[in-house]
Amino acid sequence: MGAKTIVREEELIKKDEARRIRRKRKEQMGKVLRYTVLCIVGLFMLYPLIWLVGASFKTNAEIFTSIGFLPSEFDFSGYARGWNTSTQYTFATYFANTFKIVIPKMILTVISTVLTAYGFARFKIPGKKYLFSILIATLLLPNVVLRIPQYLMFREFNWLNSYKPLVVPAAFAVDAFFVFMLIQFIRGLPKDLEEAAVIDGCNSFQVLIYVLIPMLKPAIISVALFQFMWTMNDFLGPLIYLSSVEKYPVSIALKMSMDASALVQWNQIIAMSVIALLPSLIVFFLAQKHFVDGISTSGLKG
């Protein structure tokens, strides 16, 4: 009986080991399948960007006759001619104009939205619930219905053909999405450190500067990154308020290049589009870790 029991135990051990091996193989096969599918989907999503880069080195005729991303012969003239543009200004001027809008707007947005979110999240204000409801309701308001009233107001301020209509509103936390995102982030932070700072003699502003802002770093970077990319891609705002060619940003300059003549030099436009994408891509990859942390901890997870 003892020998039979030992044999059975050995058989059971072998069966368990075989089951573990089969389970491990299934898990490995599942991982390989998932990563393969993700790589294929990622390739499909990245292909337009890869094609855009390749097309910037193609001739104007080859762009419409080949779907491959590698050109038959590398042509760098699109970058040189596109950079010079058909106007008296180069794309360096338009890039400088873009950053004259992007950088101040990004800074003002961060400052105003942090202060507003801090007030909503940490202070007891009469009617705060109703004010917060109005804030959320503005998220449902299309921007197009505000264009005419804003234009008339800025015209009365004598701000037309300047960067003020594009930059100054950011100082008043007009982007309700950013305020809401920061409120959600602040509400998820413990109040222990703030209470300890108050006991040590800090006022509300010092609590914000020395306690909350270091913990808000991922959310602040997310706000700055969103505003940077949205402002870089903004076309309608500069089109409405700017009328001088020397003040145009890159988005208007690209469209102006398409309207310059009946024969559109697409390789030049694509080359400048690639250069216009570089700032957003560089900023995104530099801030990617903080951006993901800010989104995942602010109640905006999908």
Output the pLDDT for position 299: 44
Structure-token pair, residue 234:
């903004």
Output the pLDDT for position 170: 94
Output the pLDDT for position 172: 92
Average pLDDT of the residues in 272-282: 89
Integer CA distances (angstroms), 126 to 27, 36, 117, 131, in order: 56, 55, 16, 9
Query: Are 88 and 73 in contact, with CB atoms under 8 Å apart?
Result: no
Q: What angle do CA 259, 71, 274 make, to 5 degrees?
A: 45
Average pLDDT of the residues in 75-83: 83
Query: Are 194 and 118 in contact, with CB atoms under 8 Å apart?
Result: no
| pTM of the entire predicted model | 0.81
C-alpha count within 13 angstroms, C-beta hemisphere, residue 166: 30
Query: Are 128 and 120 in contact, with CB atoms under 8 Å apart?
Result: yes
**For 97-142, what is each residue's pLDDT tens digit?**
999 999 999 999 999 999 999 999 988 888 888 998 998 888 888 8
Positive or negative CA dihedral for 18, 20, 25, 29? positive
Output the pLDDT for position 295: 57
**For 141-193, what is each residue's pLDDT tens digit?**
888 888 999 999 999 999 999 999 999 999 998 889 999 989 988 988 888 88
Output the pLDDT for position 302: 36
